[in-house]
Amino acid sequence: MPFQLFIPLSLLCALLPLHHGAPGPDGTAPDPAHYRERVKAMFYHAYDSYLENAFPFDELRPLTCDGHDTWGSFSLTLIDALDTLLILGNVSEFQRVVEVLQDNVDFDIDVNASVFETNIRVVGGLLSAHLLSKKAGVEVEAGWPCSGPLLRMAEEAARKLLPAFQTPTGMPYGTVNLLHGVNPGETPVTCTAGIGTFIVEFATLSSLTGDPVFEDVARVALMRLWESRSDIGLVGNHIDVLTGKWVAQDAGIGAGVDSYFEYLVKGAILLQDKKLMAMFLEYNKAIRNYTHFDDWYLWVQMYKGTVSMPVFQSLEAYWPGLQSLIGDIDNAMRTFLNYYTVWKQFGGLPEFYNIPQGYTVEKREGYPLRPELIESAMYLYRATGDPTLLELGRDAVESIEKISKVECGFATIKDLRDHKLDNRMESFFLAETVKYLYLLFDPTNFIHNNGSTFDTVITPYGECILGAGGYIFNTEAHPIDPAALHCCQRLKEEQWEVEDLMREFYSLQRNRSRFQKKTVSSGSWEPPAGPGTFLSPENYDKVREKKPAKQKVPLLSCPSQPFTSKLALLGQVFLDSS
């Protein structure tokens, strides 16, 4: 019997009344300027509450007006909120926080930290702030962006994570002690996202520091996951990093898997890497073949493709934004509208939503102020200008303020059915949720630059163009300037190419006739696929084998970066505590 979906009529009814700035009877869209100021006020209510009640702890507890350490002991909310400050235009506070972090954050501590969370929140946040420092008016040191205090902090934090990658498979453990490395007896079971969500931060770090170890371990982890997919092209949820055997075999696009797919696309854009994109497109075919039903995505058994969980998870709401990055706008909008109906039903997205029943799943009724649906709205609005996407932004502002706002910040919604609150404000609320809301309503923000303006900086390696746009958001919404990857540490192949060109030039000057007789290498290579097309990963490897050892790379120039550079997700794993 084929799987059927029943969508209750109640899903089509919005619960929230219209407010000032919302579409009126004439169908006008919400006023962006009005909601931009509302979002800014939300940020400062939460941010000031953290500073007054929780700093230097990781996160604010808004119901008791105090703080606690959650993912380490890094003053995490301050790191996560730093680039949001600049996006909101607050350069003075950005500059102050940079000094505070340098004076107060120490990674040489005896703390067990999540490898995944430390990477996306700490390493990603510090890298983004480092690359935005000059725009924020920070007096940068000579050699920036190839050096700087925030870059050194990011590198130190990332090096603390490297012991986790020392496994037989190259796939990392999920937890590492920042002082002692991987603890004896540490579980080898890691979620898929916890293995495949490093290439954006680690490749950026390698490019800026000149140390290839970070990008190398990230690529190995990505490839091991690719090689572990099932015969029908799917990956599961948790894998043993020592044996490479799947422990949880549910396949889907949500919690525990999500940012692996995200980083294949974003890594491909950031690094101009056709193989990473080809890998994602192969996965996308399998996902559509086995998990896609009526513009919803279900969970299936990774080897058989049979439905295992007919649920929508709130973390899956990043998917329409990811679809927009590969140009699949029509499918992205249809899926987005499905997710938006769930928001309208509850005034937020429950962690799990039973699609056939049209209601929440027991013990998964909460909404911790996640950003994913807002993130997708921002990307789709940039692509389409559809006012429906601004309506989602309006609804998000109204819902969060009405349900979640308390005296000391904004509290996680424990249960969307009765609006009970929980005593936590996750750092991603300031890093992602507020940021994407603001960018949705701020079309002229520097993040949306289309290349019409840019900054020129002189580095030890030559002239460099920065700030031209095309920012790649990591899965914690920390924007990375892709041009920065071309500013530092020229590859040896590029250095050799310059030397070869100079030798040929002087040879031409000395003896033009000799130059004309010179045997030209027959190693020139033309890709068999046309522009905009991608080979399968296996065929791509075969083509690369025919390619000369030294690939020609344009010198002192950056690859064309379309706006296709969204980012954000969480990849958090839900552990049933029952």
Rounded to 5°, angle at Cα 557 from 555 and 563: 150
Cα separation of 421 and 415, whole Å? Answer: 7
What is the pLDDT at residue 127?
Answer: 98
Q: Which residues are catalytic?
A: 117, 258, 351, 372
Confidence of residue 13 (pLDDT cuts 50, 70, 90): very low
Distance in Å from the first CA to the final CA of the chain: 33
What is the pLDDT at residue 525?
Answer: 31
Long-range Cβ contacts of 97-103 (<8 Å, 24+ apart) = 98/129, 98/133, 98/136, 98/138, 98/149, 98/150, 100/75, 101/75, 101/126, 101/150, 101/153, 102/149, 102/150, 102/153
DSSP 5-68: ----GGGGS--SPP-TTS--TT-PPP-HHHHHHHHHHHHHHHHHHHHHHTTTSSEEETTTTEEE
In the block, tokens 């899956």 appear at 316
Confidence of residue 388 (pLDDT cuts 50, 70, 90): very high
Q: Tell whether 475 is in a known binding site.
A: yes
DSSP 302-331: TTT--EEE-EEEGGGGGHHHHHHHTT-HHH
Rounded to 5°, angle at Cα 346 from 344 and 351: 115
For the chain, the C-alpha Rg in angstroms (whole number) is 24
For 92, phi then psi, to 5°, come to: -65, -40
Of 450, 479, 407, 391, give the one whose Cα is nearest residue 204. 479
| Local structure of residue 301 (DSSP, 8 states) | E
3-state secondary structure of 178: coil
Is residue 412 packed enough to be buried (19+ CB in 10 Å), middle (13-18) or exposed (0-12)? buried
* Whether residue 413 has pLDDT greater than 90: yes
What is the pLDDT at residue 504?
Answer: 63
3-state secondary structure of 406: strand
Confidence of residue 543 (pLDDT cuts 50, 70, 90): very low
**CB of 166 within 8 A of CB of 213?**
no
Distances (CA, A) of 89 to 134, 396, 435: 13, 22, 12
* Whether residue 527 has pLDDT greater than 70: no
* Whether residue 8 has pLDDT greater than 60: no
DSSP 461-497: TEEEEE--S--EE-TTS-EE-GGGGGSSS--HHHHHH
* Whether residue 150 has pLDDT greater than 90: yes
* Whether residue 23 has pLDDT greater than 80: no
Which helix (H) or strand (E) is 240 found in, with range?
A: strand 238-240
3-state secondary structure of 369: coil
Of 305, 289, 293, give the one whose Cα is nearest residue 250. 305
In the block, tokens 């854009």 appear at 269
Q: Do strands 238-240 and 455-459 pair parallel, antiparallel, or not at all (unpaired)?
A: unpaired
Read off the pTM. Answer: 0.83
Question: Across all residues in the chain, what is the average pLDDT?
Answer: 86
- Residues facing 463 on adjacent strands: 458
